[in-house]
Structure 1
Amino acid sequence: MKFCGACSMPLDNDNVVGLETDKEAFCIHCVNENKEVKSCEEIFEGGVQYFMSLDSAITRNFAEKNVRKNMKQLSYWQDKEYPCLSGEIATDEEFNQILAKLKE
């Protein structure tokens, strides 16, 4: 299975490919109408909002830490410096907590 290079969402029937390059594919949520990958800030905020929508108990701070951890693990973001990716990063335990919410 392929995964989005910018957010790591599975590229399946629900999250179709919005852009594919020689190296990576990106989901429709991470690509704008011009078929360009959205800004880091837009993808970061989308991830935060998505994680917060999973459970009303998820705080913005907790969501941000988890989005940072997720994005910083992806090769697409590793050689780039963005303010939204600076800051506290979730522990493995915290990241596993939020991943468990995805399976509920």
Structure 2
Amino acid sequence: HRMAQLWLEVVSARAAARNAADALATGSPDTPLAVAVAQAYCSKVAVRAAEECIQLHGGIGMTWEHPAHLYLKRAKADAIAYGTAGSHREAIAELMELPAP
């Protein structure tokens, strides 16, 4: 069940990223919103997927014999470098003229 739930989250993240890429490629007026939604969702899913990868692989996930720990480090670093999910949610709220979460 954990893998099935994770797969659904990854597929949804892929859809959000493709929507943002399409908005950027076509010059859509909704580009800032699409990008903010994609980053807010994808950064959370990337970290969760990497954490689950380590958990599902067991002890080898945190050893040098398997790269799972590197994926987690990369996902956490990217989530900070490209803006946290919270900051992107605030941008979404601002774009939609809603109170910040």
Q: Normalized against structure 1, the TM-score is what?
A: 0.31
- Give the number of the structure whose residues are more often strand, by fraction: 1
Task: Considering fraction of residues, name the structure with more helix.
Answer: 2
Higher relative contact order (CA 8 A, sep 6+): 2
Larger-gyration structure (1/2): 2
Structure 2 length-normalised TM: 0.31
